[in-house]
Structure 1
Amino acid sequence: MTIPQRFLSLDVFRGLTVAGMILVNNPGSWDYVYPPLDHAHWHGCTPTDLVFPFFLFAVGNAMSFSLPRYQEQGHKAALQKILKRSLLIFLIGLFLNWFPFFRWNEDGQLVFRSLGQLRILGVLPRIALCYGLAGLIIHFSGDRRSFMIAGCVLLAYWWLLLAFGQGDPYSLEGYAGLRLDKWVLGEQHLYRGEGVPFDPEGLLSTLPATCNVIFGYLAGRYIQQKGKDYPMLCGLLVTGCLLVFAGLCWNLVFPINKKIWTSSYVLYTVGIALLLLSVLMYAIEFRGWRRAGSVFEVFGKNPLFIYVMSGVLVKLYLLVRTLAGQNLYGWLYEHIFRPVWGNYPGSLAFAVFHVCLFWALGWWMDKKKVYIRV
């Protein structure tokens, strides 16, 4: 078997995404978040709204190296690898949703977290479902057909929202996926970040999100097949510009929206991912500025483990309470970061501190050659 050439820029891209996820998920206070570090209220796209689709794109990049190896082991072995990995990531996501198994009730008592109200979906379950669906599509269809299937999925998703939506099909109340999630999962198992039962990582919007993985895979294959040369880099750059333009045009009739993961959002985010990847490849692979990306490379070597541990730490913060009844998360911000830096800068400093904390964990693991794969 020919070992595909490794590109440090792909690892840096993945690490940059993990660092971004930790940064935007851990502000000192959600009341003091700079607008670029917060999600768009509904339609639109902020820098924060790029982080999750970038991660899915990076999952596809990594798949472009691993899936051919699986396929060389035979059809059955490849299917087992894809399904096993999908199931493991999904179960880890369920574990993280349930952890730490206890919560504080309104009376200030520590009670067991009932499985009857466990959120089933979320970031890791979506990654698992998208990885599994994309892997199966690519395995059975091949590279060229998977590109056409992804295009059909994006068009079909648009049609589904128009055909089964109510009132404004792109609003929270009229979104067809909301009714599907309530019917399949039940309201008690949905996220309530919007004040009502609604999961931004719902079942229906997983279909277009899968296309981010497919496009990431195709980008990885293209880079491997073309090799490190300027025509390859030019191809990435031009394709990125065209996809951004196509996404903005589609936005006129099908608004860019992360929470329902619209098809225009997929094109727009994949386009920006290609542009960023082009810049990283030029700087690292062509100009040799490897040291500039080495910081983020650490995150990219244990991405899933570092992300899970960041979630575990935050949940432990929320479980531990001071004598005054304040959770440790709020106490750290109120007594350490805000007094020193103020509201908004202190909230950002809290997030940056945790990025540095988990960079240190990743650095230690890399130094000890500890790489946790699922």
Structure 2
Amino acid sequence: MSNSQRFLSLDVFRGLTVAGMILVNNPGSWSYVYTPLEHAPWHGCTPTDLVFPFFLFAVGNAMSFSMKKYQELGHATAVRKILKRTLLIFLIGVFLNWFPFFRWNAEGQLVFKSLSQLRIMGVLPRIALCYGLAALIIHFWGERRAFVIAGCLLLVYWWLVLAFGQGDPYSLEGYAGLRLDKWLLGEQHLYRGEGVPFDPEGILSTLPAVCNVIFGYLAGVYIQQKGKDYPMLCGLLVTGCLLVFTALCWNMVFPINKKIWTSSYVLYTVGIALLLLSVLMYAIEFRGWTKPAAFFEVFGKNPLFIYVMSGVVVKLYLLVRTGPDENLYGWLYEHIFRPIGGNYPGSLLFALFHVGLFWLLGWVMDKRKIYIRV
């Protein structure tokens, strides 16, 4: 299997994930979102809950190629490069949380966003930490030990949740990670989407999320070692099915839950990622169906940049006022997309429009051979 074929499958997988992120993050109205495009209220897993772990899995896939270069470097140089990349992605995430630095207050005045309530964690900070920890584990301990360490992380996390949780350790109130985040980060720096200070990308739940990256790396190594043949494809399919089955069994005692990133959730999402990757590899590498995949390939070539720009543009929408109680985001939905499709279809059209908008950005960059790597 040629490098171009390998990278095409990875680009498409990453591209699907980035397009999914933009789709689920930008409905025209959060009051009108189709159920599959919403996160599970607590336990359970919707298609939307697959998007973030898929991205971490794709990070691991890409690492199976890039880490080869690190092996040729001395430990000091490799660690420096890993930590530098980790810090840069983390800071970009914090920057995006703070952007656009101003907000409208209750009196309709534009005021500076105080750092005292800046959210520290989030999607990009978690990606950074998961990448950094996984890269260090793989660099120093290799593939086999990384697999063992991943298993240990899942079991240790389960023990920590049980040992330090209060009441129902799998509930929001009893989850041990909530107390850790309040103590380490402070309530004022946590996400408030649940109505209370709680960060779904908190410190403790980052431990099992590291495993999504490690398993993605191991899948990439497996594909390279086995090469383009049907036994390799069968191995991915069987492993994916076994992981999903194991996760569903574990779910009976350790519920699948994205917001606290349970160990069963890790196995479940990795299993489905393997199944999806198998389908993509069969379609692209084995059958040569590259044209239908071209749309998502564009997203996969500049995934981090396109994701960041999608956040920047939407945050600017919220800053631009079109009326006393209306911003540009709401105006676009109410005056363009809702009249076209109604409530739910209009909200979906709004999201699809932005998927197309950022695809266009990626397409222009690809045509000009602009690829931004962090």
- Kindly report which structure 2 residues correspond to 1:149-168, keeping only aligned pairs within 5 A, or say none: 149-168=149-168
Cα distance 1:47–1:194, how it changes in 2: closer, same or farther (>3 A)? Answer: same
Structure 1 position 225, deviation (Å): 1.0
Q: Which residue matches 2:35? A: 35
Matched residues in 2 for 1:325 and 1:160: separation?
45
Structure 2 letter corresponding to 1:149:
I
Structure 1 position 78, deviation (Å): 1.3
Q: Which residue matches 2:279? A: 279
Cα distance 1:305–1:200, how it changes in 2: closer, same or farther (>3 A)? Answer: same
Q: Equivalent residue of 2:354, what SS?
A: helix
Matched residues in 2 for 1:311 and 1:110: separation?
20
1:367 paired to 2:371 = no
Matched residues in 1 for 2:357 and 2:13: separation?
19
Q: Equivalent residue of 1:103, what SS?
A: strand
Q: Which residue matches 2:105? A: 105
Q: Pick which of 321-330 and 263-272 moved more.
A: 321-330
Q: Runs of at least 4 residues of structure 1 off by over 6 A?
A: 2-5
Structure 2 letter corresponding to 1:174:
G
The answer as to whether partners of 1:67 and 1:78 remain within 8 angstroms in 2 is no
The answer as to whether partners of 1:121 and 1:190 remain within 8 angstroms in 2 is yes
Structure 1 letter corresponding to 2:104:
W
Structure 1 position 81, deviation (Å): 1.4
Structure 2 letter corresponding to 1:31:
S
Q: Which residue matches 2:261? A: 261
Note the alpha carbon deviations across 1:213-251, whole angstroms, 9 max, x for none. Answer: 000000011111111111110100000000000000000
Cα distance 1:125–1:310, how it changes in 2: closer, same or farther (>3 A)? Answer: same
Q: Which residue matches 1:249? A: 249
Q: Which residue matches 1:188? A: 188
Q: Which residue matches 1:237? A: 237
Structure 2 gaps of 5+ residues are none
Q: Which residue matches 1:309? A: 309
The answer as to whether partners of 1:4 and 1:224 remain within 8 angstroms in 2 is no
The answer as to whether partners of 1:93 and 1:125 remain within 8 angstroms in 2 is yes
Structure 1 position 4, deviation (Å): 9.5
Matched residues in 1 for 2:23 and 2:116: separation?
31
Q: Equivalent residue of 2:255, what SS?
A: coil
Name the Cα RMSD after superposition.
Answer: 1.1
Structure 1 letter corresponding to 2:59:
V
Q: Equivalent residue of 1:322, what SS?
A: strand
Q: Which residue matches 1:148? A: 148
Structure 1 position 5, deviation (Å): 7.1
Structure 1 position 8, deviation (Å): 1.3
Note the alpha carbon deviations across 1:103-122, whole angstroms, 9 max, x for none. Answer: 01111111000011000000
1:45 paired to 2:68 = no
Matched residues in 1 for 2:286 and 2:7: separation?
11
Matched residues in 1 for 2:8 and 2:128: separation?
25
- Kindly report which structure 2 residues correspond to 1:78-89, keeping only aligned pairs within 5 A, or say none: 78-89=78-89
Structure 1 position 68, deviation (Å): 1.1
The answer as to whether partners of 1:4 and 1:65 remain within 8 angstroms in 2 is no
Q: Which residue matches 1:73? A: 73
Matched residues in 2 for 1:54 and 1:201: separation?
15
The answer as to whether partners of 1:244 and 1:271 remain within 8 angstroms in 2 is yes
Counting aligned pairs with the same residue, the percent is 85
The answer as to whether partners of 2:322 and 2:328 remain within 8 angstroms in 1 is yes
Q: Equivalent residue of 1:292, what SS?
A: coil
Structure 2 letter corresponding to 1:188:
Q
Matched residues in 1 for 2:116 and 2:356: separation?
36
1:334 paired to 2:334 = yes
Matched residues in 2 for 1:320 and 1:140: separation?
49
